[in-house]
Amino acid sequence: MELTTIWFLLIAVLWTGYFVLEGFDFGVGILLPFLGRTPGERATVVKTIGPVWDGNEVWLLVAGGATFAAFPEWYATLFSGFYLPLFLILLALIVRGVALEYRNKSDSPKGWDRAFFWGSLGPALLWGVAFANIVRGVPLDAAHEYTGNLFTLLNPFALLGGVATLLLFTLHGAVFLALRTTGELRERATRAARTLAPLTVLVVLGFLVAARSGTVSWAAVAVAAAGMAVALVATLRGRDGWAFTGSALGIAAFVATLFTSMWPNVMPALDPANSLTVTNAASGPYTLTVMTWVAAICTPVVLGYQAWTYWVFRKRLTGAN
Amino acid sequence: MDVLDLSRWQFGITTVYHFLFVPLTIGLSVVVAGLQTAWYRTKKPEYLRLTKFWGRLFLINFAMGVVTGIVQEFQFGMNWSDYSRFVGDVFGAPLAMEGLVAFFLESTFLGLWIFGWDKLSPRLHLATIWLAAIGTSLSAYFILAANSWMQHPVGYRVVNGRAELTDIWAVLTNSTTLVTFPHVLFGAFLTAGAFVLGISAWFLLRGRDVAVFRTSARLALVVGLVAGIGASFSGHWQAQIMTEQQPMKMAAAEALWEDETSAGFSLFAIGDVENGRNHVNVQIPYGLSFLATNTFDGKVQGINDIQARYEAAYGPGDYRPVVGLAYWSFRLMIGFGGLSALLALAGLWLTRRGRLPSGRWCYRIAIAGIALPFVANSLGWIFTEMGRQPWTVFGLMSTASAVSPGVDVTEVAITLVGFTLVYAVLAFIEVRLLLKYIKLGAEERSEPESPVPALSY
């Protein structure tokens, strides 16, 4: 396999890791005001992601860093072109991170919980908007500079993508909370998952069918559908572990649909001649070789200790705590 | 102001702000790990209390470092897209390694440390804080390797108008990295030392929990003094490498206008940039030649001569950084850092063999001394980055050509104001939280009022 292909796949994997892991963090933040009715319950809801959210967020940093190293042109065009949406995402992530760390250290967690909610909802929506635009193609000039503005990015298709990720992550969060809590909290989370699932399936599949292109992506769409169906059925039967596996699979297939549809572009332009591809956006073969070794050695180790962390904190948390 | 100016202000503000938290994170993580090791070995409860007390303050600070760090990685692409295009092949590699090797390590194991007190064996739990601490230092190493490449590019060739990596080892073992890394680490320990000392002094001044805070004060004094000595030696090596690799930066730092042998180290100068000379210059004879070359009669290049040489090499242009800024940031960095180390030395003397000074002013000075290394660190970065101007990658790319061409003034103005406001509010919140947790003290507390243990999210 060509190195550029490997790195295209690796970056897809990093985004998958980010969305599967931070996806439920976002969902937990969005559901917090609805599911946690007492201060104790809210503390428990936050505690479900307490030990892991920061490690989850690193997937984003590594996705960003890997894009910089492997596809500098992509990194440069994407980050400067999506300037204001990324600024909003950054502000949201800052506010959310501080809220998570400080809510229990402050006299009243109320304001922090509001910040946590908005700081989760914003990125959950905006990542979908960003990826919908990437897949659909944006105006780029011959120098690969983005020539649109903020409102170019806020087209109906992109907003649909935003709603899709928002729903998908919220559902994922509900399923995660059902898996990680007991008693009333778990019941409420299950109820939320049941209520959200049909609409999520509809919107996500609608978006993916509109976004996809090429034959391989059909397989990914099918897996996404299957994953969400498993999440729903397993939730109805009280099989929380399977439900979580299903929604995680749904998110992975969501990312796979987008990436298989883009290939071999990494950032299609409205004028195809100006598109960024795995070839014209890539670093030299030497850098890609070095980074392949680094990734091959480090990624399994990281996966190992992150998985171990989830194992250590596998015990369900009770509402009263 | 145009896009370039605003982008530079934004990078400066967000970076200096981010680096208020980073050194404390690096230094304090090791202090906390050390205290927990002491508790693990001796099982003395006061070490556990200290571990938890400093651990809480460490976490409040760590959170700010994390959230402001994300901005750092994004803004290369957001505001400096032409820079990213030019250097991505080389610069991206250490950045990606930082994420894969260091960020995962520190954040994952810190999560385990915070929530793992009753879930992991004491030994394993101790290992988590050490791994997190190692992660923070590794992170510094990789990002300094990236920055050092901007100061002194190695292991690359320029192909089709962009730098291409040819030797990753050259980048990771760049002489600039090897001297900068220890300097930054010593700076971080100086910071942690001053922080722990100042807060311990606050308790000692009030006669609260004296035995325990005397212990942490002594520890902080030793850390501070060793770090101060280390920072001065590593800084000396750094100056020599800088003289060789970026003579203009050294010349600006010294307001040395003409090439000179047996050059003196300037203590105070009033310069005339326009005419390239000083009105007043108070010097330590031979000081600069010694600092820069290790000999008293070594030759050090001056600004006017280097400017002429650079014009010959790179074409017409002004290759001088803002001399006044380079001059003062360099001296004040040394001054503030040195003062902090001297305080540690004085403190060790005053607290020798179980003593505690009776003068209340001693403690007040220690409290005020917390600021010294923070200011020194900031000035160090301002010096090293501003002293490299007009280059963003020395000799290869000017800062003016690095900025994003597609981002307009309004956009940068929005983000500059936005980040600055949010950061200001966060600073206020962070300081209030730190004060709250300092005042709570290190006494053993039963924690039934809060549903979650205090040492958690």
pLDDT (tens digit per residue) in A77-97: 999 999 999 999 999 999 999
User: Residue A133 maps to which CATH number?
Assistant: 1.20.1630.10
Average pLDDT over residues A160-168: 97
Contact B116 A51 (CB under 8 A): yes
Planar angle of CA A265, A200, A83, nearest 5 degrees: 45
Tens-place pLDDT, residues B95-114? 999 999 999 999 999 999 99
Average pLDDT over residues B156-172: 95
Domain that holds residue A68: 3-312
Please report whether residue A192 resides in a domain: yes
Average pLDDT over residues A265-281: 94
Q: Name the residue of chain A whose CA is nearest to B437's CA.
A: A105
* Least confident segment among B50-54, B270-274, B314-318, B392-396: B270-274
Distance from the A93 Cα atom to the nearest Cα atom in chain B, whole angstroms: 7
Residues 392-431 (B) with a CB less than 8 A from some CB of A: 404-407, 411, 414-415, 418, 422, 426, 429
Nearest CB neighbour to A321, from listed B84, B92, B451: B451
H-run or E-run covering B248 = helix B247-254
Please report whether residue A18 resides in a domain: yes
Whole-number pLDDT of residue A106: 86
Tens-place pLDDT, residues B337-361? 999 999 999 999 999 988 888 889 9
Please report whether residue A320 resides in a domain: no
How do B397-398 and B391-393 pair as beta strands? antiparallel
Whole-number pLDDT of residue A320: 56
Using 50, 70 and 90 to split pLDDT, how confident is the model at B452?
very low
What percentage of chain B has pLDDT greater than the value 70? 97
Distance from the B66 Cα atom to the nearest Cα atom in chain A, whole angstroms: 8
Planar angle of CA B60, B65, B66, nearest 5 degrees: 100
Q: Which amino acid belongs to residue A11?
A: I
Distance from the B2 Cα atom to the nearest Cα atom in chain A, whole angstroms: 16
pLDDT at B451 over 50: no
* Least confident segment among A283-297, B420-434, B441-455: B441-455
pLDDT at B453 over 50: no
Domains of chain B, each with CATH number or no CATH = 12-242+322-407 (1.20.1630), 247-320 (no CATH)
Q: Taking the C-alpha atoms of B26, B30, B31 and B32 in order, what is their torsion angle to the nearest 10 degrees? A: 100
* Mean pLDDT for all residues in chain B: 93
Please report whether residue A321 resides in a domain: no
Tens-place pLDDT, residues A95-117? 999 999 999 888 889 999 999 99
What percentage of chain A has pLDDT greater than the value 70? 99
pLDDT at A247 over 90: yes
Whole-number pLDDT of residue B271: 86
Nearest CB neighbour to B92, from listed A40, A47, A68: A68
Q: For the whole model, what pTM was predicted?
A: 0.94
CB contact at 8 A, A211 and A261:
yes
Contact A98 B110 (CB under 8 A): no
Using 50, 70 and 90 to split pLDDT, how confident is the model at B445?
low
Contact A55 B107 (CB under 8 A): yes
Decide if B72 touches A, using CB distance below 8 A.
no
Average pLDDT over residues A306-319: 89
Contact B70 A98 (CB under 8 A): no
Number of domains in chain A: 1
Q: Name the residue of chain A whose CA is nearest to B119's CA.
A: A312
Contact B414 A80 (CB under 8 A): no
Contact B95 A62 (CB under 8 A): no
* Mean pLDDT for all residues in chain A: 94
Whole-number pLDDT of residue B454: 41
Tens-place pLDDT, residues B46-56? 999 999 999 99
Residues 109-148 (B) with a CB less than 8 A from some CB of A: 109-112, 114-116, 119-120
Average pLDDT over residues B106-131: 95
Distance from the B184 Cα atom to the nearest Cα atom in chain A, whole angstroms: 22
pLDDT at A302 over 50: yes
Contact A43 B120 (CB under 8 A): no
Contact A65 B98 (CB under 8 A): yes
pLDDT at B230 over 60: yes
Q: Name the residue of chain B whose CA is nearest to A82's CA.
A: B78
Tens-place pLDDT, residues B291-350? 888 889 888 999 999 999 999 999 999 999 999 999 999 999 999 999 999 999 999 999
Whole-angstrom distance, CA of residue B259 vs CA of residue B244? 14
Distance from the A50 Cα atom to the nearest Cα atom in chain B, whole angstroms: 6
Nearest CB neighbour to B100, from listed A90, A103, A295: A295
| Counts for chain A of helices (H) and strands (E), in that order | 12, 2
Contact list in B for residue A53 (CB cut-off 8 A) is: 111
Please report whether residue A319 resides in a domain: no
CA–CA distance from A195 to each of A170, A188, A240, B93, B435 (Å)? 11, 10, 16, 45, 45
pLDDT at B446 over 70: no
Contact list in B for residue A299 (CB cut-off 8 A) is: 100
